[in-house]
Amino acid sequence: LSSPKKKLAYLVSGNIQESQLKKKYGAKAKIKGHEDFPGKVPDTAPRVTKNLIINVQVGKQGLFEPHSVYYRPHSTGLYIPAGEVVKIISDQKYHAQKLKAQIGLHDDDLASGADHLVRIGFDLTRNFELNQDTTRIYSPYGGLLMVNISDTTKLKSISLKVIGAVNAPYFKLGVTDDSTWNQTIKNYPAPWAELATDKIVFVVSAERIKQLKNPTALMKFYDQVMDADADLRMIDRKRLYPERIIVDQQVAFGALFTTPAKIVAPNDDESTGIMLNKEQIETKGSWGIFHELGHRHQFHDLDFDGLGEVTVNLYSMYVYDQLLNLGKYHNQDNIPSRAGVMEKIKQYMRSKPSYDKFKQNPWIALSMYIEIIEHFGWEPIKSANKVYANLPKNQYPKTNEEKIDLWFKTISHVSKTDLSDFFKIWQIPVSASAIAVVKDKNYPVWLPEELMEFNK
């Protein structure tokens, strides 16, 4: 798919193929290639009838979230085989709620961006509104069954009956025990599995969990990671909904990526293999996974230009430092050690620093934050995050200059320090009016030792 013309041709041919198959086979249509991804369900796998009670987890936490009205997926522990009709029976009281059954979670349009595909490149999800007593659902690809619920609903739980689906490996912390998991659940025949808590959900290939013997310990660890992120972001550890990490055979953007609705990770040993290995991730960590979870907690509307790949790394550093007790410096190529960072800062300061250069180098920009953390600890960052979290939307800065001023005034106030010289040396353009506000407080002026020689 090396040209726009070829990409368009692929997308058009896919739509035509599905339309023709649907016309010929109806709901029993199966797209060629589904056997490889998302995967085939054995013909001998039992088709089951399940009465589901789904606890509703929706709402807004002020994080990097989809705009309302968003229908948040809720797991069922069931899989819909490709080309098979499954029935969902719902009570009439739910019909006005616009609940949706979703088949599959891999919704990225890979063909538009990739020059080479290793799996079907279309959106593999299918949605059906549950607005009648019995709804027939089906997909030419198959996939995990989700129930999507509006983030504005007042419902606390939902009861549904599903007829004809297949059991999928599904672990829920506090509900599933390791013994049942090992004896039965992890051997269910669906090609995709889920590991869940009230704070985080992993959607992974079933092959990846066959050797997982202690999911309780693994998912308790991830709850601790989520709690660490909540502590730095200054939100309640009890989350309104879980973050969802979806493993994919082909990732649409970069190594991993984050959107308001999900995190996507590659199905490889470096990412997913480490992610599911408690001993390895607890002793060595995973900068990539911690980084993507950090994106979910950034103040995207308040950070000034150049911070998109900067403040996110504070969350990786915080997890390494405060949860794993491994210290802050765990990206060997970019922040190898305290001494290494300080030397890089000096080299940068000797090469005519500017705000443009700052915006172009996220690791240098992160070093400015590291200097604050090294001297003051994590508390000023937390306190500043609290100020940001409590800021009413109608008081959000409208320009980049106002965003810079907000950060300067906030971090100066919470640290009770005049940071005007610090920002000046870093060439971050703070307005004269913002500097005057801080000067009026008569805070002590602070500069880290490594910047003293550049204070001219």
The string of DSSP letters for 78-139 reads EEE-TT--EEEEE-GGGGGGT-EEEE-S-----TTT-SS-SS--S---EEEE--SSEEEE--
Residue type, 25: Y
- Which pLDDT score is estimated for 13? 84
Last residue of a domain, one of 129, 150, 167: 167
DSSP state of 273: I
From residue 451, give the alpha-carbon distance in Å to each of 118, 133, 297, 423, 425: 50, 69, 30, 11, 8
Q: So what's the pLDDT on residue 5?
A: 85
Give the Cα separation of 7 and 89 in Å (integer): 40
Contact 52, 159 (CB under 8 A): yes
Closest CA to 241 of 231, 230, 233: 230
- Dihedral (CA of 101, 107, 111, 117) sign: negative
| pLDDT of the residue at 2 | 76
**377 located within any domain:** yes
Q: What is the pLDDT of residue 114?
A: 82
Residue 190 lies in a domain: no
- Provide the CATH number for the domain around residue 401: 1.10.390.30
Task: State the pLDDT at residue 15.
Answer: 84
Structural domains in the chain (count): 2
Q: Is the peptide bond before 118 cis (omega within 30 degrees of 0)?
A: no
Within a domain: 201: no
**Of 141, 167, 193, which one is at a domain's C-terminal end?**
167
Asked whether residue 445 is assigned to any structural domain, the reply reads yes
Of the residues 132, 167, 202, which one is the last residue of a structural domain?
Answer: 167
pLDDT for the residue 23: 87
CA dist 157 to 104, 172, 340, 380, Å?
22, 16, 52, 40
Angle between helices 287-295 and 215-233 (to 10 degrees): 50
> Would you say residue 446 lies in a domain?
yes
Burial of residue 75, with CB atoms counted within 10 A of its CB: 0-12 exposed, 13-18 middle, 19 or more buried? buried
Residues 170/154/60/88 CA torsion (nearest 10 deg): 30
Domain that holds residue 113: 1-167
Does residue 107 lie within any of the structural domains?
yes
- C-beta of residue 296 within 8 angstroms of C-beta of residue 314: no
Per residue in 422-440, is it b (16+ CB within 10 Å) or e — as a string?
bbbbbebebeeebbeebee
Name the residue type at position 187: N
SS (H, E, C) 327-396: CCCCECCCECCHHHHHHHHHHHHCCCCCHHHHHHCHHHHHHHHHHHHHHHCCHHHHHHHHHHHHCCHHHC
pTM, 2 dp: 0.95
pLDDT digit string (tens) for the chain, length 456 residues: 778 888 888 888 888 888 888 888 889 999 999 999 999 999 999 999 999 999 999 999 999 999 879 999 999 999 999 999 999 999 999 999 999 999 999 999 898 888 889 999 989 999 999 999 999 999 999 999 999 999 999 999 999 999 999 999 999 999 999 999 999 999 999 999 999 999 999 999 999 999 999 999 999 999 999 999 999 999 999 999 999 999 999 999 878 999 999 999 999 998 999 999 999 999 999 999 999 999 999 999 999 999 999 999 999 999 999 999 999 988 778 888 999 999 999 999 999 999 999 999 999 999 999 999 999 999 999 999 999 999 999 999 999 999 999 999 999 999 999 999 999 999 999 999 999 999 999 999 999 999 999 987
| Burial of 24: CB neighbours in 10 Å, binned 0-12, 13-18, 19+ | exposed
Give residue 334's pLDDT. 86
Residue-level pLDDT at 8: 84
177, part of any domain: no
For residue 279, being part of any structural domain is answered with: no
pLDDT of residue 169: 98
Backbone angles phi, psi at 252, to 5 degrees: -70, -35
